[in-house]
Amino acid sequence: MAVICYLESNDLFRQDKFINGYLDDHFARFDSAGIYYLCYLGNDDLRIFDKLFEETCNKYSFVVCLTQRKFEVGGYKFVGMNWVVDYPFRLKDRCRMDTDDYMFQEQFGKGLLSTPNGWQEIDDWFTYAKTLPTIEEELNQLVCPKDMAKSVYVIHMPPNRL
């Protein structure tokens, strides 16, 4: 779900307005109809709004924030992961190296992380990224359902290789 697409001013730090306004009403309609809505924020959504997003989801019985979790419905287990393999763009809130030997792409400027006080510029993104878990490690942390035939992995960006 790319919140950025719906903002008129392109000010990423206003994503809370979208969550509190549009998404809250959107979720309410699905909830009142008894339709499950499994979701998580994506790579263009600022991590500083993760808690607000989860709180908004938790207001509704049929809305499930699937971020790094498992949820069962209709006999199927859904497992979500919203980390993405690093890309050349500046926003790095959800970026990870694929594996320990990941080869970085050429970058379009310094890495940026969202903070409650604005952007935190990362001078050496490559070194910083090596301190974070890899996509491979993140996948290994996910719950592994016993019956894979009745399991659905909802992964924002599939790993390059494992």
Q: What is the DSSP letter of 37?
A: E
Confidence (pLDDT) at 81:
95
Nearest-angstrom CA–CA distance, 61 and 136:
32
Confidence (pLDDT) at 4:
37
List alpha helices for the chain, DSSP H.
15-18, 24-32, 50-58, 125-129, 135-141
Whole-model pTM? 0.87
- Has residue 19 got a pLDDT over 80? yes
117 closest CA partner among 42, 46, 40: 46
The β-bridge relationship of strands 111-115 and 37-39 is: unpaired
Confidence (pLDDT) at 161:
57
Binned at pLDDT 50, 70 and 90, residue 143 comes out as confident
Task: With beta carbons less than 8 A apart as the criterion, state whether 66 and 54 touch.
Answer: no
Confidence (pLDDT) at 156:
83
- Has residue 157 got a pLDDT over 80? no
What average pLDDT does range 150-162 have in this prediction?
79
- Has residue 6 got a pLDDT over 70? no
Binned at pLDDT 50, 70 and 90, residue 2 comes out as very low
